[in-house]
Structure 1
Amino acid sequence: MDTINIKIDNKNFQVPKGTTILEAAKSVGVKIPTLCHMHLHDLNVTHKPTGCRICVVEVEGRKNLVPACATECTPGMKIKNQTIRVLNSRKTVLELILSDHPSDCLICPKNGDCDLQSMAQEMGIRHYYYKGEQSTYIKDRSAAIKRDMDKCIGCKRCVTMCNEVQTVGALSSINRGFMSVVAPAFQMDLEESVCTYCGQCVAVCPTAALTEIDHTKTVIRHLADPSKTVIVQTAPAVRAALGEEFGYDPGTLVTGKMTAALKDLGFNYVFDTDFAADLTIMEEGTELLDRLTRHLNGDKTVKLPLLTSCCPGWVSFFEHHFPDMKDIPSTARSPQQMFGAIAKTYLADKLGVKREDMIVVSIMPCLAKKYERSRDEFSTDGNPDVDFVLSTRELARLVKQAGIDFKSLEPAEFDHPMGESSGAAVIFGTTGGVIEAAVRTAYEVFTKEKLHKVEFQQLRGMDWIRESTIDFNGTPIKIGIAHGLGNARKLLEEIRDGKSEYHAIEIMACPGGCIGGGGQPLHHGDSNILLARQKALYAEDKSKVIRKSHENPSIIKLYDDFLGAPNSEKAHHLLHTNYFDKSNHIEITKE
């Protein structure tokens, strides 16, 4: 890589040619403040700065201050980052931004975790020097995401994530001047738009303009109600990230402490969504093998490739953008919804609890799960299979609110019968994990042979689109994997154009899969954090005694006592779903 020599505040540095001043400064440990910029190199997307002007610097030979995020370094460039002129300019710009921002920090959802608040503190702003009219917009509450555009600073990070990374097209800048705002087309509500509720916009928003819908208070009320049996399930990716909220290094597994904290909070039973992930493999794997067998026997009507259906953000994406292909994905519900359906039938009967008196709470890394639980098809007589969903961040806030010393907790075990799971289930939380779990079971069922080496390294990694061919004892099975909806679009377009040769494809909406979900502790685009979380899940898989879903004794007993067999009539009624054409929603076309 070619390098050039530059100076920042009279110190000599060597940086890669073609980098911006902001990137160069960051690479050598020099801090330049910014609000609109975000690191997206790992996403292969360029975020075009929109001019917050917080990052301005002086460059020798130039009359005006220049934005560091949009100015490329040149050989011999002399940069001044700490002059009075620079500091005054940054402070003035920030004061102007604050003049059109609500001052309800004490009750704001992002209080203590707000980039704007932190920057105001760092710059020592203690007074409002500019007063004038403030922008006001109608609040927008969907099933998963709340939009409060009064708090938007126009950084357009969300626009980049929605349009360039995820290619959803739900958000863009509309109107001009003082009335400009980031919103869906015609300022419609999110639920009327093509939003998939993946939550990646929330994950990059520097303020509380975009936040998750918080169910914490309602959950607390139910925990205090003795007439309710409140149970909780925890998704696999949560255990690899929750610790970050309590000072642990990324990738620290806190499974036992998390379970102990949930019991201390007063949940009657603490279960593992991994149990339902094993159940998903039984249903989805059986469906895959049925399609493969018929295809290999010459049935031309079989729909291939089979697409995984665990991710509600991805399901919403194809319902909006590819409704003509809604018969290709597996009909299996996600693990969250399978858990809820079994909890309010099989478990409720075992406990002697009425359906309406059982409250099922999910702890999820994903904001789309909040939307998923609200879908009409996942309820019986108006009573949902899953009542409330809390994100990983919400659980951390709840634990802190309860005064629980997380680090001092003694690890606890999940309750049974819906707490036992395999190693295959825990890797559901990372890209490639669902299909690897499916292959472990499908191989043995298809070949009737024992699989001794369960790790499929060829299915692992963080490349955006991956492919591999797995040898099922002489039968080659071609598998595709994509994470991030923009990459999913590429594979779907190949299928639509008849160019796909895959037998099965795993798709996850979020970068990295669930480990990078919109409800996880913020990782700010740092791929090292995602890799650490991924490594943790593989480590827990390796530590498990049972590593194949079909060998989980609790799953075997569930089928023997209740469901009968995978894809039986009863299983299909409780564990499968239908998809809908939502293409009538208005899409935003990119300029």
Structure 2
Amino acid sequence: MPATPGFYQIRGRDIIMNKIKLTIDGKVVSGYPNQTILEVASDNGIDIPHLCYHPKLSKSGQCRLCIVRIGGKMLKASCTELAMDGMNVVTEDEGIIAARKLVLGLLLQEGNHNCLYCEANGDCELQRYCRMHDMEPPSREIPFHEREVDYVSSNALRRNENVCILCGRCVRACGELQVSNIWGFAERGHRTHLIADDDRRIGESNCVKCGTCVQLCPTGALSFQPVLGKGLNWELSKESSICIYCGVGCKIDFYTNPQGQLVKAMGNDEGPNKGQLCVKGRFGFDFAQSPKRLSKPLVRKDGILSEASWKEALDFVAAGLTKIKEEHGPDAIAGLSSAKCTNEENYLMQKFMRAVVGTNNVDHCARL
């Protein structure tokens, strides 16, 4: 099996494959024999509309939006059709556009895609392709099939199957990336719908709340519960940082609204996590802007915590540690550092315990 495009591994050694050349929309491009037409096109900056395909997942060819014409005749799904040397591919003509508009029209007709109330408005792949193809609102002479809407059973995920297009990304993401196998499909035909476990609500299932399914969903069928605030997708500001919890060092993109409130956290593909997050990395940052967070030092006086100045608080701590050290020795004192501090702050903590207090009794909450 090829490990990466262009390489085969034989007895632990990478064997370079010869590139193939094909023509896409009149442009000669190169790729590798194990790549699909869609992958070659993507690597060469050619955008082919697609909904069920995602580079992290196995290929299913479910949505049929990525059809292309091969050799001037056949229509094939570019996400599953392997690229061949000398192949001539057309990604857009009158017939292809008509077929794609038919697919989009059926998807719109089947669901209730009201962008005004959708969490994915402005960041929806279906919305993008509908605008690209000048799609009109569907006729409501044929009512859409009402499906489950669940915004309350889970404190992490929201589910609106009325905007689900049955692309299967969430099912494959949960099974192939997270290996939890929570999501699946039930029934057939127009009754096909998404289920969690044995048809439970998401909050009652064995979902670990990693959010991978939401991050890969092309519509607003799956979304996050708000962390601290809400905001329109085009208003959100993004800042990248490193997760403060365990030692993996996952890279996270934090999205805040114009009021500065954290709205959501998304895994960054450039980090060691490759875009995935655990429940703490995804939702464990509400403390940063919590109204319960201390903003001033508190010193207990007569059993009551009272506000104090930094000088008063530090003098109180220094006096207490000095008294314990003099009466019971330095090993009577221990320090527990925090993953919510920077590496530099944690270094200073252990330096303080070893060089000032004189003990090796120092540990870190992420290791316990």
Q: TM-score range by the shorter chain?
A: 0.5 to 0.7
Aligned counterpart, 1:13: 29
Alignment of 1:132-281 (within 5 A): 132-140=142-150, 141=152, 142-216=154-228, 236-237=242-243, 262=260
Contact 1:95–1:129 (CA under 8 A) maintained in structure 2: no
SS of corresponding position for 2:68: strand
Partner residue in 2 for 1:439: none
Counterparts of 2:35 and 2:278, CA distance in 1 = 38
Q: Helix, strand or coil for the counterpart of 1:120?
A: helix
- AA at the equivalent of 2:79: C
Contact persistence 1:174–1:185 (CA under 8 A): no
Separation in structure 2 between the aligned mates of residue 337 and residue 169 of structure 1, nearest angstrom: 28
CA 1:180–1:548 in structure 2 vs 1: closer, same or farther (change >3 Å)?
same
CA shift at 1:30, angstroms? 1.4
Alignment match of 2:66 (pick from 55, 58, 61): 55
Contact 1:144 1:197 in 2 (8 A): yes
The structure richer in strand per residue is 2
**Alpha-carbon spacing, 1:84–1:350, altered in 2? closer, same or farther (3 Å):** farther
2:91 alignment partner AA: N
> Does the CA contact (< 8 Å) of 2:185 and 2:192 recur in 1?
yes
Q: Which amino acid aligns with 2:65?
A: I
Structure 1 Cα separation of the partners of residues 252 and 294 of structure 2? 31
| 1:100 counterpart (110, 113, 122) | 110
Amino acid at match of 1:119: Y
Paired residue type of 2:27: K
Please list, as runs of the form range in 1=range in 2, the aligned pairs for 1:53-132 lying within 5 A after superposition. Answer: 53-60=64-71, 62-63=73-74, 65-128=75-138, 131-132=141-142
The answer to whether the Cα contact below 8 Å between 2:52 and 2:62 also exists between their aligned partners in 1 is yes
Residue 129 of structure 2 aligns to a residue in which SS? helix
- Looking at structure 1, the residues matched to 212 and 348 of structure 2 have their Cα atoms a distance apart, in angstroms, of 30
Q: How many angstroms does 1:549 deviate by?
A: 6.1
C-alpha distance in 2 between matches for 1:243 and 1:215: 11
Which ranges in structure 2 are unaligned for 5 or more consecutive residues?
A: 1-16, 231-239, 245-249, 263-276, 305-309, 312-341
Task: Rate the CA distance shift 1:211–1:75 in 2: closer, same or farther, 3 A.
Answer: same
| 3-state DSSP of counterpart to 1:86 | helix
Pairing of 1:361-400 with structure 2 (within 5 A): none
User: Whole-Å Cα distance in 1 between the matches of residues 60 and 92 of structure 2?
Assistant: 22
* Root mean square deviation of aligned Cα: 4.4
Of 334, 347, 350 in structure 2, the residue corresponding to residue 548 of structure 1 is 347
Distance 1:121 1:86 in 2: 16
Structure-2 separation of matches of 1:348 and 1:179? 59
Q: Does the CA-based 8 Å contact 1:169-1:194 persist in structure 2?
A: no
Residues 550, 68 of structure 1: alpha-carbon distance in 2 compared, 3 angstrom cutoff: same
Indicate the SS of the match to 2:20.
strand
TM-score scaled by length of structure 1:
0.41
Change beyond 3 A, Cα 1:198–1:347: farther
Equivalent in the alignment of 1:4: 20
Matches of 1:91 and 1:58, distance apart in 2: 16
Instruction: Say if 1:163 and 1:549 are closer, same or farther in 2 by CA, change over 3 A.
Output: farther
Indicate how the Cα distance of structure 1 residues 78 and 121 shifts in structure 2: closer, same or farther if over 3 A, else same: same
Kindly, what percent of the aligned residue pairs are identical? 24
1:38 and 2:44 aligned: no
Separation in 1, partners of 2:157, 2:351: 36
TM-superposition CA deviations, 1:75-121 (whole Å, max 9, x none) = 21111112111111111111111112213211211111111111111
Cα deviation for residue 243 of structure 1 reads: 7.5
- Measure how far apart 1:175 and its partner are: 1.4
Question: Relative contact order (alpha carbons < 8 A, sep ≥ 6): 1 or 2 greater?
Answer: 1
Aligned counterpart for 1:29 among listed residues 23, 45, 70: 45
Q: How does 1:435-446 map to 2 (within 5 A)?
A: none
* Matched residues, number: 277
Partner amino acid, structure 1, of 2:103: V
5+ long unaligned stretches in structure 1: 41-45, 219-233, 247-257, 268-310, 316-333, 356-415, 418-539, 579-591
Contact 1:21 1:71 in 2 (8 A): yes
* Distance in 1 of aligned mates of 2:109 and 2:284: 46
Measured against aligned partners, the alpha-carbon deviations of 1:112-137 in whole angstroms (never above 9, x if no partner) come to 11111111111111342585231222
- Select the structure of larger CA radius of gyration: 2
